[in-house]
Chain A
Amino acid sequence: MIDKMHTISMLLDGLMTDKITPELFEHLVELGAFEFNPEEADYLRRELNKQLKVVHQLEAVPVGEDVPLASHGVPYTADIRPGLREDVWDPCENPAEILAQAPQVEDGYIIVPDIPHTKLD
């Protein structure tokens, strides 16, 4: 079974034109705030295109116009849903403990390097 699946998966590599071109991939990398060496980029782009070929099965599914979008499976009816919580201030018991996780802190503030910006006149 695994062998057969391997064969199909390898064949998928060569099927159809790549949806995610090197240019589009670079755009996604920028949006995702990543940077890759060429070997990683090759692997990731290849796998993305393979996954998309599987995703294309969805295009052939006869989806009726009245089929609703399901953002979750279990219907969250009012009788099983907790009500909204009270809008009251519930302070963190120990903010210092939270701040202690930050790589750089000064006077209770998290420090970041310069944020690229443009000065307006």
Chain B
Amino acid sequence: MTLMELSAFEIAQRVRQGDLSAAEVLDAALARIAAVDGRPGTLDAGELTEEDKQKVHAFITLTADRAREQAEAVDAKVKAGEPVGPLAGVPLTVKDIFTVKDTPSTAASKILANFSAPYTASAVERLEAAGAITLGKVNLDEFTYGSSSESSAFQPSPRNPWDPSRVPGGSSGGSTASVAAGEAPLSLGTDTAGSIRQPAAFCGVVGLKPTYGRVSRYGLIAFGSSLDCPGPVSRDVRDAALMLSVMAGADKRDSTAATVAVPDYLASLEQGVNGLRIGLSPDYMQITFPDLETGELVRQALPEEIRAATFHAAEVLAKQGAEIVEDVPMPNTSYGIPAYFVISRVEAASNLHRYDGVKYGYRTTSEYHELRELYRKSRAEGFGLQPKLRILMGMYVSAAQYSEQYYARALKVRSMIRSDFENVFNVDGAYKLDALLTPTTPTTAFKMADVYGDSVLMQYADQLTVPANHAGIPGISVPGGIAADGLPIGIQLLAPDFMEETLFQVGHAYEQATADEAWRKIKPMVLR
């Protein structure tokens, strides 16, 4: 087994024991990046070469010198017999939507390409304080606006390590691609509609969206402030639990970070699923589109192999002692995307007005005579099409004359989506579920350029993940098989507020019970 196949848990254990140095681990990570990543994303990439098309391109900025200093500091502490944290020596990649002091923090946008953050995000600060070694910043959809990572202003955008002609998903595509390609065992991503879970499913890794408020958003460049959740990407459930245990908890710099005690997630990992009630819902086995002729909704069943992977997981868990509850009604699931088109755009428009070419970030290089012209030119040149689309839509649906029709209604529908979950998780209700088991995505990873540009179609990649963002509840995607096209399938578990430990418990039990299944032996194409 090579160093980069070790889990974060194993690396930290060996570094703490002095069996392995953080510097050795860093060398292995940098060697892997050199072998598989190709050139980093830049604003002036030019045409892609055939070689580019075989590489992963997870990174925007590799901060190898900074990582070296961190690794040496960890090794010095170990040598001196001083205590080191639970992530000692573990390589970490950070989605370039988090600020890290004195490093470029770009949001994958030209408008922030020259922005060097004057402070570090709380989640990153906590991970580094626990001994994690930050390798650098990884690529994403511009300002996280997408589900394929192709909208990044920094090209080449990330490609799927299982098949580089496919997207890694998004928006945390650089995070999941870097973990799937073994460049780092951990990555920090964000999930606003599925942006951790969907690319985790596409790249065959574990991705957790914690409960809203479980992890501080301080230092996260905002998209949808009521929806954004920082969360871990890893190769196994135990590493996700370990990473969350370090990041989670109240933060005086974020008033929405909840003051809920952080449990020992690793301690509950081995408790098994005996007696847990796990639901399956027919509403998550289909995708729903508006019908064109009649205005009715078209319902189409998900591909057979994606449904089969989910049912297989239910069988595996049932054999471990879980009680599977079928036909759980989640009637408002299909409203997740339309409501999201309104709520997320209003919040995005509000958050993106701050970029104006005055205080920081890009200022137009063309001529201007007055302030409004400076704004217009800086924003027109600095933002890509997807942020512009979101700003325009957000302004339209929140305008005084339309807000009751669109925004207020979407917020009410959001209540209804939330009540679906409250109903099935209610301990005094008819279902009394501990978790809901669903597919993560309606398809496996699609081909590069196949969907990009069609903002409606792209959004539907999140239909099965976005309800959890509306509701605020936690969700995890874990690898659940390999489809006939050779691409990973993800299965999703959803739990009540602040019950991440249930997700870890169930996810870990499923991993253990399927450890010997043949599909787990298959490696991503870039590692074969």
Q: Is A34 an interface residue (CB 8 A)?
A: yes
Q: Is B189 an interface residue (CB 8 A)?
A: no
Task: Count A-B contacts at CB 8 Å.
Answer: 217
CB-CB < 8 A to A72: which residues of B? 212, 226, 256, 472
Name 6 A/B residue pairs within 8 A (Cβ), A-sorted: A58-B406, A58-B413, A69-B411, A101-B360, A103-B358, A113-B374
Interface string of B224-266 (1 = CB under 8 A from A): 0010000000000000000000000010100111111000000
Interface string of B295-331 (1 = CB under 8 A from A): 1011010110000000000000000000000000000
Contact A70 B414 (CB under 8 A): yes
Q: Is A56 an interface residue (CB 8 A)?
A: yes
Chain B residue nearest to A43 in the complex (CB): B385
Contact among B115, B337, B388 for A32, CB-based, below 8 A: B388
Contact A63 B295 (CB under 8 A): no
- Given the known inter-chain contacts A57-B335, A94-B118, please indicate yes or no for A82 contacting B455, CB distance below 8 A: no
Name the interface residues of B422-468: CB closer than 8 Å to any CB of A: 442-443, 446, 450-451, 453-457, 459-460
Contact A44 B289 (CB under 8 A): no
Contact A47 B358 (CB under 8 A): no
Q: Give, as a whole number of angstroms, the nearest-CB distance from A86 to chain B.
A: 10
CB-CB < 8 A to A28: which residues of B? 392, 395-396
Contact A33 B397 (CB under 8 A): no
Q: Is A119 an interface residue (CB 8 A)?
A: no
Measured CB to CB, the residues of B under 8 A from A are 115-116, 118, 211-213, 226, 250, 252, 255-260, 287, 289-290, 292, 295, 297-298, 300, 302-303, 332, 334-335, 337-339, 341-342, 349, 356-361, 363, 368-377, 379-380, 383, 385, 388-389, 391-393, 395-397, 405-406, 408-416, 418, 442-443, 446, 450-451, 453-457, 459-460, 469-473, 497
Q: How far is the CA of A97 from the CA of B460 in the complex (A)?
A: 42
Q: Give, as a whole number of angstroms, the nearest-CB distance from A102 to chain B.
A: 6
CB-CB < 8 A to B471: which residues of A? 73
Contact A55 B341 (CB under 8 A): yes
CB-CB < 8 A to A32: which residues of B? 349, 379, 388, 391-392, 395
Contact B371 A113 (CB under 8 A): yes
CB-CB < 8 A to B375: which residues of A? 33
Q: Give, as a whole number of angstroms, the nearest-CB distance from A28 to chain B.
A: 5
- Given the known inter-chain contacts A82-B252, A97-B118, please indicate yes or no for A51 contacting B455, CB distance below 8 A: yes
Interface string of A1-42 (1 = CB under 8 A from B): 110111011011001000010001100110111111000100
Contact A8 B338 (CB under 8 A): no
Q: Give, as a whole number of angstroms, the nearest-CB distance from B376 to chain A.
A: 5
Measured CB to CB, the residues of A under 8 A from B are 1-2, 4-6, 8-9, 11-12, 15, 20, 24-25, 28-29, 31-36, 40, 43-44, 47-48, 50-61, 63, 67-74, 76, 79-82, 85, 94, 97-98, 101-104, 110, 112-116
Contact B454 A9 (CB under 8 A): yes
Contact A101 B115 (CB under 8 A): yes
Q: How far is the CA of A52 from the CA of B358 in the complex (A)?
A: 33
Q: Give, as a whole number of angstroms, the nearest-CB distance from B275 to chain A.
A: 26
Q: Give, as a whole number of angstroms, the nearest-CB distance from B343 to chain A.
A: 9
CB-CB < 8 A to A67: which residues of B? 412, 415-416
Contact B289 A103 (CB under 8 A): no
Contact A29 B472 (CB under 8 A): no
CB-CB < 8 A to A58: which residues of B? 335, 338-339, 342, 406, 409-410, 413
CB-CB < 8 A to B257: which residues of A? 82
Contact among B292, B413, B418, B473 for A11, CB-based, below 8 A: B292
Q: How far is the CA of A11 from the CA of B470 in the complex (A)?
A: 28
- Given the known inter-chain contacts A33-B372, A116-B370, please indicate yes or no for A63 contacting B412, CB distance below 8 A: yes
CB-CB < 8 A to A51: which residues of B? 341, 393, 455-456, 459
Q: How far is the CA of A113 from the CA of B130 in the complex (A)?
A: 46
CB-CB < 8 A to A57: which residues of B? 290, 297, 334-335, 338
- Excluding A28-B395, A110-B358, 7 further A-B contacts by CB distance (< 8 Å) are A6-B457, A33-B372, A35-B376, A61-B409, A71-B226, A72-B472, A101-B359
Contact A74 B211 (CB under 8 A): yes
CB-CB < 8 A to A74: which residues of B? 211-213, 258, 472-473, 497
Contact among B341, B361, B372, B415 for A68, CB-based, below 8 A: B415
- Given the known inter-chain contacts A2-B450, A54-B341, A113-B374, please indicate yes or no for A47 contacting B389, CB distance below 8 A: yes
